[in-house]
Amino acid sequence: MDKILLMLQLQAQLNDATNGDKWTKGVTKNGKDINWKRCIYMECAEMVDSFSWKHWKSINQEPDWDNLQIEVVDVWHFIISLAIENYSQTLRGGIEDLAINISNLDSFPSLDVENKKFASQNEVIEKVESIMLASLSKDDLNLEALIEDFFDLTLMSGLDLESLYRLYVGKNVLNQFRQDNGYKDGSYIKVWNGKEDNVVMKNIWEDNSDIKPDVLYKELTKSYLALTKS
């Protein structure tokens, strides 16, 4: 539960910093509507592109599992944002209550076991599309079912709670770094010497297993300054 709670807290802090303190009401500090469900299904569409699903193009291309895992973490950002918003608007409780309920889901124990196995391409895509359907539905949100589906997808993508947590923290730091370096006004550079910043962040984590979030931020700053000054 501790890792779930920390991810929820980090997401709330990031959303506060990025969107203002009224984001749980569905609006940013600039008065723009927030649609977490749309964020989810649009990110899921990008996830499918990790596979050679097109029958007319690159039919023998191997799945890009590294990209898939990054996209899984991106979807998790939006799902827990939706969950925090839902708990706030329906008066179900705060972040601590949400963390407890998530850790009590039937699928949670299987997530808390080391896992590095990938499911087949078709199985993963079917699960992604199930999440898309849930986010596209006009019916009342079944939050628990959505999170259960996401945990299934996490396992099918070769991740577990520990690796999801590590990638989430890394991506959370990267998202904050992006906001601090011109992401909103379009001046931020996303590709660093031929590598997307997601990949750079993931490589730093993999090369430094005990790195702290603040040190990761400093490493990203160092790499970015070298890029912008070259």
SS3 category, 74: helix
Q: How far apart are CA 167 and CA 161, in angstroms?
A: 10
pLDDT value for 214: 85
pTM of the model: 0.86
User: Going from the N-terminus, what domains does the chain have, and what CATH number goes with each?
Assistant: 2-164 (1.10.4010.10)
Q: For the chain, 230 residues long, give each residue's pLDDT as a single digit of tens.
A: 689 999 999 999 989 988 998 999 999 999 999 999 999 999 999 999 999 888 888 788 889 898 899 899 999 999 999 999 999 999 999 999 999 999 999 999 999 999 889 999 999 999 999 999 999 999 999 999 999 999 999 999 999 999 999 889 888 889 889 989 988 888 999 999 888 898 888 888 888 877 888 889 999 999 898 888 76
CA dist 25 → 16, 32, 81, 84, 204 (Å)? 12, 11, 12, 10, 36
